[in-house]
A and B are shown apart, each in its own frame.
Chain A
């Protein structure tokens, strides 16, 4: 009874929501009408004309909507004659919608189906006879209505995922919205009703807010136009570099605000002013030259004793009236920088991995991918388009030739020999460059003690490193010619080698620097002893002279105090100088290598003996991989150096900002689109992987210094401590309640840490094996699907010759075989039964064979990729009767 009432409401609601009405009638009356509606643009005429294809197309069209349930719903609809009228259409419609939900919550959907089926048998008779009587809703109904509303809401949320026409989507949306509006209020009763209404309202507000926020966020993304322009000229691969650059800029902006907001600005505002204590004052002997331009460009003089570097910060526990704990904040920001970067990089990687399907196991679909995905729809420039045509053609031809000559290999021994030789040469180069850097660093330590130095000697290290970064890749490219790899493989090797070169250089540089640091530490000990001795002496004299007063500091100028070498600042300066010279070299290369070249080619072409534009120098191409690698390494230096030089992050933000504009200009002004296109899609996690590696590698030395080197005794926020992290321990002991301190001491106990690490290792192992198992299962399923499809195909092909009618029927049938129990069919009209044909039994058997695997039916409806659910649940088991209630 109660059910009848609901149906009444249902119909009311739907009919009231007006637009639906006409459609329902149509839906029930003819399946064709419904299908037409589903996919209006398929020409009706052809369907009539081409009867043979009709069945197949039917399947096709249904699968358009990607909801397997839809299809079964449709088929069932076909089964029922129009007699049942609007009501039937109604329920089918509902079922259709329900289908989507079932896809999501499988288990639940199954249960629902069972109960629905039970209900259905009784309700069919009832619904025809009785009209609504019930007044109040029972619990179950409310729950059902709620479910319905939820479904509609889900539809509203997902409607953009449907490949329908706008008009159709709009209609469905309006329908669903009307329904939700109408019935949402009816849910909940008494007090609950108000609360529910409130909740609903808040939910609406929240969704609106989210959308507005989303809009705001997209409005905040800078350089959209610029990147689009580059995209349309050079295709998505060059643009991917700029997108990467923008991403880096965003990340660095966060790091910058962290460092400046929590370290630099508090120090500037609340710390002691310049000149108050020795570490904040330029020493007397340097003061004359401290303002010289050449000294400043070396980051000595006033630069060295400024907030830009570690040494300037005082070790006072709290500063200013806010009692800001600067040393603690300094350490936390240093660690937080790494933490944040790690998080962002990994999150981006995970997101990318999610978006891009597989990372493309090459061999499987080379041709199909070339065919279907090689056009870059962003290209909006005729010249680029021409290049793209040419490159696609070549790649087609190449792959055809590859395919043909895959086996042939003329002189394998020579090639092997050449490859070994090339690798040997490259190893030599790498070793040589490493040694060169080590040598230069050593030499610069010698130079440091001398005064009569020219500009070159002072900047030797940076120049050598930048030059190596410039020359090395070119050398590698020349050597790689020997190897005769396929371009793509060659590119990978090239990237790997450049990476090794940069990394080797960076690490030799670091090791040499640590040598220096150790030497400085020795030196520092002596100075420390000397200054302590001096203080003692002074105090002894002081107390001897004025026995009444004690404890005033010695009245010497802060500029005259003996001070240690402050190795942290030295390291910081090295990194800053390296970064600056890197910027200079990059910009100069662009200016000379691209701009000047373009100028010469463009204007000298009028009076030259050969065609410069088409011939040898020609215009430059944008070197994506080199630029990306440069960016990645620059970021590595920033990460390493920012602990010792907080100002480095600021410099980097400036650099990224300028290079965005500069490189955009350069690429538009002087480069030509690529001939050989290197695909660097967003989903390609290669760069992110490099970034992660670099992040990890730059994490190591910083953590090492924090954990095990003693900080300088007279400069920096940690002076006077044994180790830098003592700051944390001190804070725990002094500022936090004592029980927290004990808690921490327990937590830091090796007895706890070792088990924790073990646990993590076990967890990793477990997750790893689970993912392995999933992968295996996935492969297995894929294989099964393919087999089933082949089988199905064979079967169909065999039948093809026998009977056209049979084939048509068979097309309809497998769906029905999904309706599990045979008595189900009794409920339906006999018209669709295959009994009409003589060999019905045969057919039945075939069908049941096919239904062993629910997916083993004709064309697939879902890609069996990793995103697809297993075949078992892609089509609900037992699509049961329409969920009437």
Chain B
């Protein structure tokens, strides 16, 4: 299987190194893993082909992540908006989640992930969805609507600096940049 996989051209490899926070080994590993996800006939032209979202979600690294669908959607460049990833999208994803990515990049993508309706701000609906993601699917861990309201109010009180009822990117980054453990936990390693 692995032997038949197409190899990454050298110049492309160095370009990817230039463009991402990944090292050579990580890119090669990503390439290998991506290859494994691809259908056999697609292997030859890895540059163009896409892996559908539900295939990506089988990766053990993403399997138990509550934001897995969002992550795929954010990083996908597909015109169909189906969350499928090309190899470059995949590298984008890994780069943003890599160890050496800067806080700026990480917070930018975190914001995009949390912005469920893609409208550029985190409004009450987004925050609600976010809380639901964080507390899991089971009913016993869900918050009651009363608690939810309280929680979201508290969050807005803290981070909504301009008091427009939503958290925008800069406010979000302001909050995040002070957090001691965001950078270390916003990480996915293949």
- When distances are taken between beta carbons in the complex, the residues of chain B under 8 Å from A236 are 181, 184-185, 187
Question: A218-B25, A393-B136 are known contacts. Are A681 and B169 too (CB-CB below 8 A)?
Answer: no
From A371-379, A447-455, A630-638, A820-828, give the one contacting chain B: A371-379
Most chain B beta-carbon neighbours within 10 Å: one of A160, A161, A355: A160
Question: B30 CB to closest chain A CB, in angstroms?
Answer: 12
B97 and A161 within 8 A (CB): no
Q: Tell me if B5 counts as interface (CB < 8 A to partner A).
A: no
- When distances are taken between beta carbons in the complex, the residues of chain A under 8 Å from B62 are 380
13 A–B contact pairs at CB < 8 A?
A163-B108, A165-B77, A214-B23, A215-B23, A231-B189, A371-B127, A373-B182, A381-B64, A389-B138, A390-B136, A396-B135, A400-B147, A860-B162
What are the nearest 4 A-B pairs in CB distance?
A389-B136, A681-B181, A385-B64, A863-B174
Bound-state CA distance A377–B189 (Å) is 9
Question: A367-B154, A378-B187 are known contacts. Are A166 and B92 too (CB-CB below 8 A)?
Answer: yes
Question: B147 CB to closest chain A CB, in angstroms?
Answer: 6
Bound-state CA distance A793–B60 (Å) is 45
Q: Tell me if A531 counts as interface (CB < 8 A to partner B).
A: no
Question: B15 CB to closest chain A CB, in angstroms?
Answer: 7
Interface residues of A in 427-461 (CB under 8 A from B): none
Q: Mark B126-164, 1 if CB is under 8 A from A, else 0.
A: 010011001110100111000100110011011101111
Question: A378-B185, A793-B163 are known contacts. Are A867 and B177 too (CB-CB below 8 A)?
Answer: yes
* Contact of A357 (CB < 8 Å), options: B26, B63, B157, B178: B178
Q: Which residues of B contact A (CB under 8 A)?
A: 14-15, 17-21, 23-26, 60-67, 74, 77, 88-89, 91-92, 95-97, 102-105, 108-110, 114, 118-121, 127, 130-131, 134-136, 138, 141-143, 147, 150-151, 154-155, 157-159, 161-164, 168-189
B188 and A377 within 8 A (CB): yes
Question: A219-B25, A368-B158, A859-B170 are known contacts. Are A865 and B102 too (CB-CB below 8 A)?
Answer: no
- When distances are taken between beta carbons in the complex, the residues of chain B under 8 Å from A215 are 23-25
Q: Tell me if A704 counts as interface (CB < 8 A to partner B).
A: no
* Given A46-B118, A385-B66: 11 more A-B contacts, CB < 8 Å: A66-B104, A232-B61, A236-B185, A357-B179, A367-B157, A371-B155, A380-B65, A393-B136, A397-B143, A789-B161, A793-B162
| Nearest A residue (CB) for B17 | A211
SS class of chain A's interface: helix, strand, loop or mixed? helix
B135 and A683 within 8 A (CB): no
Bound-state CA distance A385–B65 (Å) is 8
Q: Mark A834-867, 1 if CB is under 8 A from B, else 0.
A: 0000000000000000000000000111111101
Bound-state CA distance A679–B183 (Å) is 13
Question: A166-B89, A369-B175 are known contacts. Are A682 and B103 too (CB-CB below 8 A)?
Answer: no
Bound-state CA distance A861–B172 (Å) is 11
- When distances are taken between beta carbons in the complex, the residues of chain B under 8 Å from A859 are 162, 168-171
A683 and B118 within 8 A (CB): no
Most chain A beta-carbon neighbours within 10 Å: one of B150, B179, B184: B184
Q: Tell me if A238 counts as interface (CB < 8 A to partner B).
A: no
Question: A372-B114, A403-B154 are known contacts. Are A355 and B183 too (CB-CB below 8 A)?
Answer: yes
B162 and A790 within 8 A (CB): yes
Q: Tell me if A792 counts as interface (CB < 8 A to partner B).
A: yes
Question: A371-B127, A378-B189, A393-B136 are known contacts. Are A160 and B18 too (CB-CB below 8 A)?
Answer: yes
Bound-state CA distance A864–B18 (Å) is 29
A684 and B158 within 8 A (CB): no
B176 and A373 within 8 A (CB): yes
- When distances are taken between beta carbons in the complex, the residues of chain B under 8 Å from A865 are 174, 177-178
Q: Mark A671-683, 1 if CB is under 8 A from B, else 0.
A: 0000000010111
Q: Tell me if A159 counts as interface (CB < 8 A to partner B).
A: yes
B179 and A373 within 8 A (CB): yes
Question: A42-B118, A60-B169, A679-B181 are known contacts. Are A374 and B19 too (CB-CB below 8 A)?
Answer: no
From A72-80, A358-366, A515-523, A718-726, give the one contacting chain B: A358-366
A365 and B183 within 8 A (CB): no
Most chain B beta-carbon neighbours within 10 Å: one of A61, A211, A356, A684: A356
- When distances are taken between beta carbons in the complex, the residues of chain A under 8 Å from B19 are 159-160, 166, 169-170, 173
Most chain A beta-carbon neighbours within 10 Å: one of B14, B114, B121: B121
Bound-state CA distance A66–B169 (Å) is 10
Q: Tell me if A22 counts as interface (CB < 8 A to partner B).
A: no
- When distances are taken between beta carbons in the complex, the residues of chain A under 8 Å from B164 are 793
Q: Tell me if A32 counts as interface (CB < 8 A to partner B).
A: no
Bound-state CA distance A379–B63 (Å) is 9
B138 and A380 within 8 A (CB): no
B63 and A862 within 8 A (CB): no
Question: A399 CB to closest chain B CB, in angstroms?
Answer: 8
Question: B87 CB to closest chain A CB, in angstroms?
Answer: 9
* Contact of B147 (CB < 8 Å), options: A57, A170, A396, A792: A396
B180 and A356 within 8 A (CB): yes
Question: B126 CB to closest chain A CB, in angstroms?
Answer: 11
Q: Tell me if A12 counts as interface (CB < 8 A to partner B).
A: no
B180 and A364 within 8 A (CB): no
Question: A165-B92, A166-B88, A389-B138 are known contacts. Are A380 and B185 too (CB-CB below 8 A)?
Answer: no
B63 and A41 within 8 A (CB): no
- When distances are taken between beta carbons in the complex, the residues of chain B under 8 Å from A792 are 162
Bound-state CA distance A864–B176 (Å) is 11
